Amino acid sequence: MKDYTKNKRPDMLEPFFPNEMFRYIIVGCFLVVLDLLAVLFFPLPFNPVNKPEHIPWFFIPVYLLKKCIHNEFVFIFILVASALFFIFLPFIFRGKRRHDTKQS
């Protein structure tokens, strides 16, 4: 890994926590306020009669799974189990290539 602090004086290095963290918090709050203003002052009308011509591409695997599994409880269980698997996958994987320090 490249050392970016090499040949630099300590006063030239900018600390991450107070400077970058507050900037990210301020930008995040600004984007949330901007989104809330757009939703509250310029809402899109909702019409439940209008349906999309086709389902979005990211719902296709869930739709196919729902067609294959007719039991609703089993369907929900498989969806939750797959989501939990992907959430806990970084904690489950313990290979050598997980951290750069262990690759020697």
Mean pLDDT, the chain, rounded, equals 83
Convert the pLDDT of each residue in 47-74 to its tens digit: 888 877 887 888 888 889 899 999 999 9
Residue 73 to residues 66, 79, 80: CA-CA distances in angstroms? 11, 10, 11
What residues contact 65, with CB distance under 8 A and at least 6 apart?
A: 75, 78, 79
Phi, psi of 7 (to 5 degrees): 60, 30
pTM, rounded to two decimals? 0.44
Instruction: Answer for the pair 5, 13: CB distance below 8 angstroms, yes or no.
Output: yes
